[in-house]
């Protein structure tokens, strides 16, 4: 292989590496948002293992997650739209918050404070 061919290969390889390095941040960006929060009782204590539902008001599609040991939940990759968060736990009244707007790349926090009682 001649020195000209080696230099050409190095130039092409360098250009490809530069393109990959520069395009990586663009690929990592996502247009979808996130809805997260903490579920606590009336004293502020975390409630682990509680079902939290995120429902898209426009489409009717819902997804359910459970809170972790710290009472936290997260819904990643949420399409933009208007949502409701519903939380149900045995021994507590049902919690519902409607008209939550999620925008592109938005990060929305919905904390739920549960009251003792029966849910319907």
More confident residue, 17 or 64: 64
User: Which letter does DSSP use for residue 79 in this model?
Assistant: P
Mean pLDDT of 65-91: 96
Domain ranges of the chain: 1-29, 33-113
Token pair listed for 68: 């972790």
Inform me whether the pLDDT recorded for 16 exceeds 70. Answer: no
- Residue whose token pair is 């008001």: 57
CATH code linked to domain 33-113:
2.60.40.1120
CA–CA distance, 56 with 101 (Å, rounded to integer): 10
Using the structure block, give the residue that is written with the tokens 């009782």.
Answer: 41
- Helices (DSSP H) in 29-78: which residue ranges? none
Q: Find out whether 49 and 67 touch, Cβ atoms under 8 Å.
A: yes
List the Cα angle 6/8/14 in 5-degree steps. Answer: 100
- Record the pTM: 0.73
């Amino acid at each position: 292989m001649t020195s000209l061919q080696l230099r050409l290969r190095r130039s092409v390889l360098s250009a490809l590496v530069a393109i990959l390095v520069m395009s990586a941040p663009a690929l990592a960006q996502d247009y979808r948002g996130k809805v997260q929060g903490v579920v606590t009782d009336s004293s502020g204590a975390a409630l682990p293992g509680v079902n939290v539902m995120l429902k898209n008001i426009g489409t009717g599609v819902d997804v359910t997650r459970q809170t972790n040991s710290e009472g936290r939940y997260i819904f990643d990759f949420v399409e933009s739209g208007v949502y409701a968060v519903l939380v149900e736990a045995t021994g507590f009244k049902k919690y519902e918050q409607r008209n939550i707007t999620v925008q592109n790349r938005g990060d929305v926090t919905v904390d739920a404070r549960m009251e003792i009682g029966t849910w319907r």
